[in-house]
Amino acid sequence: MLTILFDGIAYGMLLFVLACGLSITLGLMNFINLAHGAFAMAGGYVTVLLMNRYGISFYWCLPGAFIVTALLGAVLERLLYRRLYAASHLDQVLFSIGLVFMAISAVDYFMGGQQQMINLPPSLQGRFDFLGVGIGRYRLFIIVICAVLAVGLQLALTKTRFGSQLRAAVDDGRVARGLGINVSLIFALTFALGSGLAGLGGALGTELLGLDPNFPLEFLIYFMIVVTVGGTSSITGPFIAALLLGIADVAGKYYLPQFGAFIIYAVMILVLIVRPHGLFSREGGR
């Protein structure tokens, strides 16, 4: 029972790291980016490549995945995304679906369609008992990393200069520009950060979620649930939503396997009917 709770928390934390980049682009920059999962997939494949082909230790692969996907995100933002910030939502949806399709077939072409495997270092394998609760070492590792990241992000957004510049740029781009804030640079950096976090999440999730070319579509719904249910006005909303989703999903799969993902979708639709702007949003907020 407590083990399931623990696994659910680990899963939810992972979902949060995967989705928090999306909550920034979607929530703060108002860009419907359905291709977010493609960045996560990129991070996962970077890890697989580095570990299996070049034998680099798992611990070094994580920052590697972050940096590579952040660069990828920055390049794509400069080249493509930037042009569509002002476009209609339909255009953004079409564009990002196109990007997902391209990513899926490109990965299929270069890496093949099979599931990718990595071997975790021995120090992260196995589980131990703590007060009668079976705790997987790798899951504990994920929880620690994600908790640090979540606290760091929250502090970065609320306490640092960059965070307040970002919030200013989002609230009113023109005025922010008038005050001498380089809005387009801030957006590019933010987008890169979000993509990098997705990549890191993908790297961490390779073992837990599995990795194949269909990853972006398979998990798209989870990311979107986290962001839409959590609301887009803060980091805490998506964080709580991700935890709830993780626990519900793990518990649902354990206790009611025949319903599959059914419950998750039903709950999402219900929440969106009752609170169209998410569970934790302020009324009238952006």
Partner 1 sequence: MKDDMTNTAHQALSQLRSASRWRIWEIAIWIVAIAAIFVLPSKALILTEIAILALFAISLDLILGYAGIVSLGHTAFFGLGAYAAGLFSMHVATEPITGLIAAGLISGAFGFVTSFLVLRGSDLTRLMTTFGVAMLLAELANQAAWLTGGADGLNGITITPILGLFEFDLWGRTGYIYALLVLMLLTFMARRIVNSPFGLSLKAIKRNSRRAEMLGISPTRRIVAIYTISAIYAGVAGALLAQINSFVSPDVLAFHRSADVLLVLVIGGAGYLYGGLIGAVIFSILRDWLSVITPQYWMFWIGLILIVIVLVGRERFTRWQNFLPGSESRRLAKAKAAAAEQSP
**Residue numbers of the site for partner 1 (CB under 8 A)?**
26, 32, 80, 83-84, 87, 89-91, 93-95, 97-106, 108-109, 217, 221, 224-225, 228, 258-262, 265-266, 268-269, 272-273, 276-277
Rounded least distance, CB 228 to partner 1, Å: 5
> From the CB of 63, what's the least distance to partner 1, in Å?
30
**What is the distance of C-alpha 58 from the center of its chain?**
20
Instruction: For the CB of residue 110, give the shortest distance to partner 1 in the complex, in Å.
Output: 11
Residues in the chain: 286
8's CB contacts (< 8 A; 6+ apart) are 243, 246, 247, 248, 249, 250, 251
Q: How far is the CB of 10 from partner 1 (least distance, A)?
A: 24
Please state the closest distance from residue 76 (CB atom) to partner 1, in A. 11
Number of CB atoms found within 10 A of residue 35's CB: 26
Helix (H, G, I), strand (E, B) or coil at 254: helix
Q: Give the Cα separation of 248 and 114 in Å (integer).
A: 28
In the complex with partner 1, the residue whose CB is nearer, 84 or 120, is: 84
CB of 266 to partner 1, least distance (A): 7
Give whichever of 91 and 171 is closer to partner 1, judged by the CB atom.
Answer: 91
CA–CA separation, 93 and 13 (whole Å)? 27
Buried b (16+ CB within 10 A) or exposed e, 119-149: eeeeebeeeeeeeeeebbebbbbbbebbeeb
3-state DSSP call for residue 144? helix
Pick between residue 64 and residue 238 the one whose CB is nearest to partner 1: 238
Q: How far is the CB of 41 from partner 1 (least distance, A)?
A: 14
Nearest to 264 by CA among 5, 96, 2, 12: 12
Complex with partner 1: residue 93 or 179, whichever CB lies closer: 93
User: What are φ and ψ of residue 133, in 5° steps?
Assistant: -105, 125
Which residues on adjacent β-strands are paired with residue 127?
A: 136
